[in-house]
Amino acid sequence: MRQLSRTVLLLGALVALASAPALGATPQVVLSVSEVPVGDQGAVATGALEISSDTDLAGTTFSASNLTAGTNVIPAQAITFDPQVIDVMAGSTYTVGIAVQIPSGQPLGTYLGTIMASDGAVQSLIALSVVVNNRPTLVVPGPQTVVAGSTLSFSISATDADGQGVALGVRFLPDGAELIDDGNGIGTFTFRTAPEDEGLIVTLIFFAFKHTDVGAPPQDAREVPISVIASTGPSIGQLITELAARISAFNLPRGTEQSLTVKLEHALRSIDRGHFTAACGQLDAFANEARAQSGKALSIGQAAQVIASAGEISKALRCL
């Protein structure tokens, strides 16, 4: 038992020695700027710094030099860290926030300086760059409404006072919606709603930023509320019922009439159950049979009429 205890102690000592820096070795403190601060004049640019070490560092503080771009300066006092003081445990990585208060009227450009981390004995430096860049100006429409089952489309645009390229984006897209950035400061938003979207209310956030900005770029963001309302015209179910009544009024041969109306009844039943893909297939089968009967059981005019009606219903259902 005593021999075993001495062995355990010896192994513990060897592990501790293996995980600690060699005697006399300089502690390795690793700093990296994981998010470059980018901001516009008179605003706060935010970024992030990561710190790790192969030894414990108690009471590590952070400071920065002046940031310069030619003869232009952002003073060190404008740079703060969160937290200001941190205990670093060996083998762990910590994130520290960087905030840079950019003075109003500060000339545009990329400002360079250094960040220092120190526990009083060990010091480590890393380069810091801060980009001063005015944000673009975004123009969007006001609140929008769209009838369930129809399509809403509008344009957004952005301009940049510095003449730089602008990128466009959007947050909180619902199903069936997309934003296409044309690459010239203009974007097209399209929302293809479904009948079951009735009552949906969503607030989209459109934003614009410069192509050349990195990190967390300054953005001009605008909200556009969208409401999906009920149709004031006939419902899809009503349209299918009216189409079935029209087939019955043609006085077709019983087998032809029954074959066509059954397909419409199946489509109506699928819609009631929320099976819109199935309804699209049944409407397509109806239209194909009407084409096959054109000039036969159906006159050419009758076939064209019911095929067009089926197409309008399929369009309202957003069938492919």
pLDDT in tens, 58-72: 999 999 999 999 999
Residue 253: count of CB within 10 angstroms of its CB: 12
Residue 7: count of CB within 10 angstroms of its CB: 10
The pair of three-digit structure tokens given for residue 31, joined into one six-digit string: 């700093």
pLDDT in tens, 178-212: 999 998 999 999 999 988 898 999 999 999 988 76
Contact between 48 and 33 (Cβ < 8 Å): yes
- Which 8-state DSSP code applies to residue 136? P
Higher confidence at residue 22 or residue 298?
298
- Global pTM reads 0.50
Q: Is 199 left (phi over 0), alpha (psi -120 to 50) or beta?
A: left
Length of the chain: 320
Contact between 240 and 267 (Cβ < 8 Å): yes
- pLDDT beyond 70 at 10: no
Residue 60: count of CB within 10 angstroms of its CB: 24
Q: What residues have CB less than 8 Å from 69, skipping those under 6 apart? A: 107, 109, 110, 111, 112, 132
- pLDDT beyond 70 at 309: yes
The CA-based angle 16-20-21, given to 5 degrees, is: 155
